[in-house]
Structure 1
Amino acid sequence: MGQQEKPATSLTGAVSEEISASLAPVDEELARRYPGDPGTRQPVHTVYVPGDAFAADTTRSWGDAALAALDEHAPDAGTLAAVLGLPGALADDIHTRVRAKLEREPVEDLRVDFEDGYTPASPDDEDGHAARAARLIAEAHAAGTAAPYMGIRMKCMEAAVRDRGIRTLDIFLTGLMEAGGLPEGLVLTLPKVTYPQQVTAMVRLLEQFEKARGLAPGRIGFEIQIETSQSILAADGTAAVARMIDAAEGRATGLHYGTFDYSACLGVSAAYQASDHPAADHAKAIMQVAAAGTGVRVSDGSTNVLPVGTTEKVHDAWRLHYGLTRRALARAYYQGWDMHPGHLPTRYAAVFAFYREGFEQAAARLAAYANRAGGDVMDEPATAKALSSYLLRGIDCGALDTAEVARHTGLTRADLDAFAAPRRAELTTHTR
């Protein structure tokens, strides 16, 4: 090998120490603002159910209705493949997995809605509905029948409904505490946020609840719903959504795009209000860039074209929903809203096809990277992170099986986690 050369330097160690000291505030700022993805499961969708309609069997009834729609309008793999354009080689597997998902876990994230979709007979009814929602969610967790994520969408922080929203949230959270405590997977949604100060108000509200109930500071997080133009571009020309994330003081878990309120805010006519409208793409791109690295996740909106009526109409609605979902996944919007049980078959068909189609290539590339084996693509750590995140998302939703991923990559779940969130994995290792 020859004699190893002796390196020479010109700078003293004091130079490095001085530079490190000058950048210490930046290091702290980067760690605080951009901690990276939390490494937890992200649901593929959110289902909204009005507070007066939510019942103990809502999750199961959605699954049963979705299965009935599948049996009536696409009873076999060939029919589903023909309607959606699924690859023939994957059709049987996807149809089987969709059925199994609807039987086992039809809803990944359920939000009991006390906002736009909620029309109680009288204002006083909301107290009872909020208390009932808390009781039913607590009972579902106790029985093991809860969706992985459940919570409420309260009314917004605008003056006309602010007090009502605060009271509903208080009743709901208090009900959960009285029933045994806040469950894992609790999610709260704050809609129609226009100013960062409204996010700050939500933070102060949750702080007061945590103090009143003896909870650890920061225990309760929330999603910010982006439904107004002012939440994207503030009056001073800045990206308001970035300031909202900062105003949440680490409590923001997601940014959810509201397709129809946002479109209407910009004057888009009803016939063209859709998640693939250029205005929607612009808003979500700003949301995505603002959230990148912060640990806050972005969710796409929904379609209001419901798969109901004749088989022909259902198939048309399914093709639309499938296409919008695949489009969103390609743009790294891994979550969306579903407004009807009939949307569940195509939600899962789209998600499963997305992960099944790219599985073998992603697994091979990650295995080659992990083994330093090379290949026809030169991947870097950032690509390995994306590949492992892709596989983990596929496992979490049921598109992929842990055993087959291990078989194709030679990697364990812990290995995938380490590639997907290396900084977080390193911190976890050091703190064990």
Structure 2
Amino acid sequence: MGQQEKVATSLAGAVSEEIRASLAPVDVELERRYPGDPGTRQPVHTVYVPGDAFAADTVRTWGDQALALLDAHAPDAASLAAVLGLADDLAEPVYSRVRAKLEREPVEDLRVDFEDGYGPRPDAEEDATAARAARLIAQAYRDGTAAPYMGIRMKCMEAAVRDRGIRTLDVFLTGLMQAGGLPDRLVLTLPKVTYAEQVSAFVRLLEAFEEVHGPDAGRLGFEIQIETSQAILATDGTATVARMIQAAEGRATGLHYGTFDYSACLGVSAAHQAGDHPAADHAKAVMQVAAAGTGVRVCDGSTNVLPVGPTAKVHDAWRLHYGLTRRALSRAYYQGWDMHPGHLPTRYAAVFAFYREGFEQAASRLTRYAHRAGGDVMDEPATAKALSGYLLRGLDCGALDIAEVARLTGLTRADLESFAAPRRGDLTASAQ
């Protein structure tokens, strides 16, 4: 063991106590404002369906239409790989998993739309449609046909449509309560938010509903849709979106980027309104930094180029959508919008390829970290968190199987979850 070292200190214990007391408010604030990722499943996409078009079989219909497009335009692994440029070793596992996903769980997150996709309607008609949406969603959860996440997008909190949006939300939530209660993984989307005060008003609205019906306080969460320049940069030059997250008082679950409204707000011409435009990259980067550590997740936007028509046109649209999805994933935007059943094959092909092509390397690095083994990369707790998060997202969407993850890592899902949610002190200590 060698010679015992003599340990000496110079500072009195009172110094540590003084610092501890002075930073106590900061410690509380860190825990309150930055609780970290909730550790729940994040859907890989959100599908918007107009309120009047939503039906009991919408999820299954989207899956069937997507499968029919595959049969017509990419009937086997080789043909889809040729369209998307998939590597030979990925072609079959990706294709087979895409088909299985479309058969088993074609939609991960569905939003019944009462905003742009629905438009202005007579009050009686929108009332009836909102009540119908509540009845169908409640029934879907009862009979097991629901998407993992479901909910509505109401009209925004601007003066012209505010009352209508509030009434639609009231009708919908009341209908759910009458049908048995609020389902798990219920999602509400508040669009076109420009001021943090609109978020605060929405929080008051949800609080009022909870007071009437008695769900647990804070039970109702919501997504904030970022579709205007004012949502990114306030008149005083600060990041408005950060204020919105705090104004939500812990109820915000996501920030959803609205590709076309935001682009138009900045004057981007229609031909250049896309998720990879520099204006879009800037907005999403601000959203990402504002949301980091808060437990609020960022969702990318969509493409309006639909895979319809002759095979050549479908293939062009698929390549575009696949490329945008892969680009978003590499930038840590793990969720996006899909506007058409034809987007589902390339959404899942991009997601599955992303997780499968990096699977072995991520598993190897996490295994070495878990067992304190050497290697050519020195990973820290923060990297282990990213590696385990990567594997967990792959498992959640169906890109990976727990058996193959366990075979390569020797780790259980519980092990992965423990690495994905380290204590704040563990990450801080890694920098020492």
Q: Distance in 2 between matches of 1:6 and 1:81?
A: 66
Superposed CA RMSD in Å reads 1.1
Note if contact 1:418-1:425 (Cα within 8 Å) is conserved in structure 2: no
Per the alignment, residue 363 of structure 2 pairs with 363
Q: Distance in 1 between matches of 2:327 and 2:4?
A: 54
SS at 1:150 equivalent: strand
Q: Which amino acid aligns with 1:55?
A: A
Cα gap change, 1:394 to 1:291, in 2 (>3 Å): same
Q: Distance in 1 between matches of 2:395 and 2:425?
A: 19
1:165 corresponds to 2:165: yes
Q: Distance in 1 between matches of 2:78 and 2:120?
A: 44
Cα-to-partner distance string for 1:367-394 (whole Å, 9 max, x where unaligned): 0000000101010110000000000000
Q: Distance in 1 between matches of 2:378 and 2:214?
A: 52
How far 1:13 moved relative to its partner?
1.3
Per the alignment, residue 430 of structure 1 pairs with none
Per the alignment, residue 105 of structure 1 pairs with 105
How far 1:14 moved relative to its partner?
1.3
Per the alignment, residue 347 of structure 2 pairs with 347
Moved more, 399-408 or 320-329: 399-408
User: Following superposition of structure 1 onto structure 2, how do residues 221-232 of structure 1 map, counting pairs within 5 Å?
Assistant: 221-232=221-232
Per the alignment, residue 117 of structure 1 pairs with 117
Superposition TM-score, scaled by structure 1 size: 0.97
Q: Which amino acid aligns with 1:290?
A: A
SS at 2:255 equivalent: strand
Note if contact 1:52-1:119 (Cα within 8 Å) is conserved in structure 2: no
Q: Distance in 1 between matches of 2:153 and 2:54?
A: 13
Q: Distance in 1 between matches of 2:75 and 2:250?
A: 46
Structure 2 unaligned residues grouped into runs of 5+: 427-432
Per the alignment, residue 285 of structure 1 pairs with 285
Superposition TM-score, scaled by structure 2 size: 0.97
How far 1:119 moved relative to its partner?
3.7
Between Structure 1 and Structure 2, how many residues are aligned? Answer: 426
SS at 1:36 equivalent: coil
Note if contact 1:154-1:189 (Cα within 8 Å) is conserved in structure 2: yes
Per the alignment, residue 374 of structure 1 pairs with 374
How far 1:213 moved relative to its partner?
0.2
Q: Which amino acid aligns with 2:114?
A: F
Per the alignment, residue 398 of structure 2 pairs with 398
Per the alignment, residue 22 of structure 2 pairs with 22
Q: Distance in 2 between matches of 1:208 and 1:119?
A: 26
Q: Distance in 1 between matches of 2:172 and 2:121?
A: 19
Q: Which amino acid aligns with 1:252?
A: A
Per the alignment, residue 305 of structure 1 pairs with 305
Q: Distance in 1 between matches of 2:71 and 2:387?
A: 35
Cα-to-partner distance string for 1:312-336 (whole Å, 9 max, x where unaligned): 0000000000000000000000000
Per the alignment, residue 77 of structure 2 pairs with 77
User: Following superposition of structure 1 onto structure 2, how do residues 199-348 of structure 1 map, counting pairs within 5 Å?
Assistant: 199-348=199-348
Per the alignment, residue 383 of structure 1 pairs with 383
Q: Distance in 1 between matches of 2:79 and 2:317?
A: 15
Q: Distance in 2 between matches of 1:152 and 1:164?
A: 14
SS at 2:78 equivalent: helix
How far 1:121 moved relative to its partner?
5.5
How far 1:422 moved relative to its partner?
1.4
Q: Which amino acid aligns with 1:298?
A: V
Per the alignment, residue 138 of structure 1 pairs with 138
Structure 1 unaligned residues grouped into runs of 5+: 427-432
Cα-to-partner distance string for 1:327-374 (whole Å, 9 max, x where unaligned): 000000000000000000000000000000000000000000000001
Q: Which amino acid aligns with 2:407?
A: R
Q: Which amino acid aligns with 1:333?
A: Y
Q: Which amino acid aligns with 1:145?
A: T
Cα-to-partner distance string for 1:70-112 (whole Å, 9 max, x where unaligned): 1100000000000000011110110000000000000000000
Cα gap change, 1:424 to 1:114, in 2 (>3 Å): farther
Cα gap change, 1:92 to 1:425, in 2 (>3 Å): farther
SS at 1:124 equivalent: helix
1:40 corresponds to 2:40: yes
Percentage identity across aligned positions?
83
How far 1:425 moved relative to its partner?
12
How far 1:122 moved relative to its partner?
3.1
How far 1:215 moved relative to its partner?
1.3
Q: Distance in 1 between matches of 2:418 and 2:248?
A: 27
SS at 2:96 equivalent: helix
Note if contact 1:52-1:120 (Cα within 8 Å) is conserved in structure 2: no
Note if contact 1:417-1:425 (Cα within 8 Å) is conserved in structure 2: no
SS at 1:349 equivalent: helix
Note if contact 1:94-1:353 (Cα within 8 Å) is conserved in structure 2: yes
Q: Which amino acid aligns with 1:204?
A: R
SS at 2:111 equivalent: strand
Q: Distance in 2 between matches of 1:423 and 1:138?
A: 37
Structure 1 segments, 4+ long, off by >6 Å, are none
SS at 1:5 equivalent: coil
Q: Distance in 2 between matches of 1:181 and 1:132?
A: 15
Q: Distance in 2 between matches of 1:96 and 1:254?
A: 31
Q: Which amino acid aligns with 1:340?
A: H
Per the alignment, residue 429 of structure 1 pairs with none
Q: Distance in 1 between matches of 2:57 and 2:340?
A: 15
